[in-house]
Amino acid sequence: MVGKPIGEEIRNRFPRLTMSLVMAVIFYLINTFVPGTMEGINLPGLNINAGTLIGTIALIFTAIFLIRALADALVLSDILTDVFVKRLGIKEERSPKRAARDLIFIIVIILVTTAIFPLINTLDLNIREPLSMVTTYVALGMILILIYDIGRILYRIVERKAESVADSFAKMTDKIKNRE
């Protein structure tokens, strides 16, 4: 993702993600339905049921396409998280201060969602049920995005500290080696 414009990254990764998911579903369906139709057919010389072999191969391909989809989804989720966080008015800084702001946003989302539920309960049953479900899932989605952002920030902080400690150890061992 480094060096590429965000729009180009999305144009490259989203179709690849979609195709990987479609292929994973196709191979999963093959794994589900085809082995049952091949019961009793053994491959000569291998003494393996043909259905088992096809099911295993299809399952391996399903896993490969899911891993490819996961890699693209992680990059896209980073991009979408950045866009969402910017829309909330949080600056691009990657610091503990930003993680604290994300935590404050999570608390506000929980409080607002909790405050909205008594209002939703006054509505007609046909409106109340779907609206309460939508409210819950929207709040949950926003909270998960913010938790993911906090995790990215903390990961980068820990990574920088670990690199700093590794550099210190490397310098220390270089000094000791040069004395000898």
Residue range(s) defining the domain that contains residue 111:
90-180
Predicted confidence (pLDDT) per residue in 97-126, tens digit: 778 778 888 998 899 888 888 888 888 888
Predicted confidence (pLDDT) per residue in 117-174, tens digit: 888 888 888 888 988 999 999 999 989 988 988 888 888 888 888 888 888 888 888 8
Q: 82 and 98: one domain?
A: no
The domain tally of the chain equals 2
Q: 76 and 98: one domain?
A: no
**Paired sense of beta strands 42-43 and 48-49, if any:** antiparallel
Task: Report helix, strand or coil for 42.
Answer: strand
Structural domain ending residue among the three candidates 42, 62, 87: 87
Query: If 0-12 CB within 10 Å is exposed, 13-18 middle and 19+ buried, where does residue 68 land?
Result: middle
With beta carbons less than 8 A apart as the criterion, state whether 148 and 73 touch: no
Output phi, psi for 38, to 5 deg: -115, 25
pTM for this predicted structure: 0.54
Q: 104 and 46: one domain?
A: no
pLDDT for the residue numbered 41? 86
- Cα–Cα dist 97/127, whole Å: 40
Output phi, psi for 48, to 5 deg: -120, 140
With beta carbons less than 8 A apart as the criterion, state whether 79 and 67 touch: no
Q: 107 and 80: one domain?
A: no
Please give the helix or strand (H or E) that residue 5 lies within, else none. Answer: none
